[in-house]
Amino acid sequence: MYLEIVSPEASLVSGNVESVTVPGVEGEFQMLHGHAAIVSLLGKGNVKFKGNAEIAESHQALFTQENGSWILPINSGTLEMKDNRIIVLVD
């Protein structure tokens, strides 16, 4: 599946991933290949993804890596997943 993470300033991540975990307002949830279409508000927490997505060089300092996952802390955001394409808008 394809992941894009975008902030008001720049595109932070783009590329293929195996899984994405996000902090939904009702709790954390994970999406894998073939997940049903969804639109969700995100709360404060971490966006985590595994895969070969490219992190923008100018924003790599925002990310940490743990147990094979990349982690991006966010304050809030919005997510849309449809047809194995995930777009995350973050603050």
What are the structural domains of the chain?
Answer: 2-90 (2.60.15.10)
Q: What's the pTM value of the predicted model, to 2 decimals?
A: 0.94
Which residues of the chain are under the pLDDT cut of 70? none
Please report the pLDDT score of residue 62 as a whole number: 96
Please report the pLDDT score of residue 4 as a whole number: 98
Residues in Cβ contact with 77 at an 8 Å cutoff, skipping those fewer than 6 apart: 22, 41, 42, 47, 88, 89, 90, 91
